[in-house]
Amino acid sequence: MREWTKETFHSAYETYSTMVYRLCMLYLKNESDAKDALQDIFLKIWEKKPVFQNEMHCRAWLIQTTKHHCLDLLKSSWFKKRVAYEPDDRGGKEKTQEDRLLEKIQMLPAKDREVLYLYYYEEYSIKEISQIIRRKESTIQSRLAAARRRLKGILDRGEGAER
């Protein structure tokens, strides 16, 4: 990427903020925390002004930075001591099918959430995911298969409860 200016920063924000926010939601499971983390991550970009080789490098950096930032938050003593408050209704908004699916994905272990998100939402190939999270392709394939099985189990149990 070229030199960081206000315009390039705004362009990067417009391009990647949704991806970063969804990742934050998958890890933090709370809208307020996800929004705060999103701001923190883009503040890091503004302060560090990293040089990226290409768009793929930028996306990979954001995914890794988001993951590590969220994991650091989850390990912090402040985060462990607080009591989460999530109202049952979303201000009268009805949940979409995608919202309900993301809730089910959030029930999975972090490793499963990560590969499902990268594969289905960001549409990375298994090879690209292995490069991003620095694991063998066979490991990614195994995690993806296990994540699909676990998600199917959750969806099957959830459908039975809603009928």
Q: Where along the chain do its domains lie? A: 1-86, 95-163
User: What pLDDT does 52 receive?
Assistant: 86
pLDDT reading at 135 higher than 70? yes
Running DSSP on this structure, what letter comes out for residue 91?
Answer: T
Instruction: Decide if 60 contacts 20 (C-beta within 8 A).
Output: no
**Is-above-0.75 flag for pTM?**
no
Higher pLDDT, 85 or 122: 122
Q: Which CATH fold would you assign to the domain 95-163?
A: Arc Repressor Mutant, subunit A (1.10.10)
Lookup: tokens for 80 = 């462990």
pLDDT reading at 163 higher than 80? no
Lookup: tokens for 36 = 């705060």
Closest to 68 measured CA to CA, from 37, 98, 99: 37
CA–CA–CA angle 18, 19, 24 (5° rounding): 95
pLDDT reading at 103 higher than 60? yes
Q: Which CATH fold would you assign to the domain 1-86?
A: Rna Polymerase Sigma Factor; Chain: A (1.10.1740)
How many helices (H) does the chain have, and how many strands (E)? 8, 0
pLDDT reading at 84 higher than 80? no
Q: Which of 61-65, 133-137, 145-149, 154-158 is the least confident region?
A: 154-158
Cα-atom radius of gyration of the chain, to the nearest Å? 17
